[in-house]
Structure 1
């Protein structure tokens, strides 16, 4: 804003010195004294009231012009929202950090989805394991939007689970189980959507029971808590996962 204003007078070649993270009176006084020596102007965005008042007082002592950039906007929004601002410094940075953590978590979930790379297991905040069509991927993405790094691993009888799965802390791993009949229905619909016959081995009840039994064995070896996702929306399961993580993996 200062540079844009200066451009109206001298092409925007004003010397601008940024002094970030001002949270003490010593820095304020030093800044004012420096501005006084150089004949400068101070434009600020501090939101802490006592520091603002100190700046105005010291600037008045040294006859240094001061411009409150954020004040008018804060006052306008306070009237609009009918409440006082928090006046906490650094909230924008916190919001930015929150955004980038979410993006990082989403990228992590994509990279380590469906057991693509077992190295992600040891780096994950939580690892989801279960047979195909137990909502591992949508659950991973939902939790990623909660800023959790999630890896998920499909359990298939013909494929030995990665060694990393047995190295991760059991409370950071969550098994997903499901009612066999419901899984059968889900898989049949999946086959139809792909233009395949519902009689394929993927939706065969004997095969499903075999997979679920194998998955249960692996979950017992891992020692992880298990969630039954039958008839549950992804949001409901995600809230249960978050609650379990807060409790340290206790599914009771």
Structure 2
């Protein structure tokens, strides 16, 4: 990627490792996509700290930097790991609550605190998540809509992103959302019985998902609901 390239950016932000894991598939996917060109855009990868508050500042700085460069930002996609999931999970909604089961990488463990004081109770993703799932499955890549992003740093950054897209005029034409991904095989090796997915497979799934997100404006209407 050249510094004078004025192509629109797709910002793909993946979290650093956490909870004593040496690797996080979210960041491995993001950095594998760095510089990838799709439908006239270029992917820019960003590593997010797994820390409440600080992760928002890092995302804010990256989005501001793209805006200051004069490059359009049509899409922001944040990624986090969800050990035990069997599919690429496109999250539907972000909740305005931090309720951490474990401390973050800075040792902070908020309980029942709003992500944005006085903000709406929740935001929906503005990605065409059902179309993205449809196209990933059509390509032979496991994917599903998820209705819970949890209440840890993943939901924290998801809510913060959607709040900014909803309230900042400079981001009025940017769409965004959050995706949870399974463990990598090397992570599952020490966790017998836990699902995993190869990095190459996950990267290919994101290539399909990003292309669909750029091309599809109105999401498809088909069932993705669950009983629980």
TM-score bracket, normalised by the shorter chain, equals 0.3 to 0.5
TM-score for the superposition, normalised by structure 1: 0.34
Normalized per residue, the structure richer in helix is 1
Normalized per residue, the structure richer in strand is 2
TM-score for the superposition, normalised by structure 2: 0.37
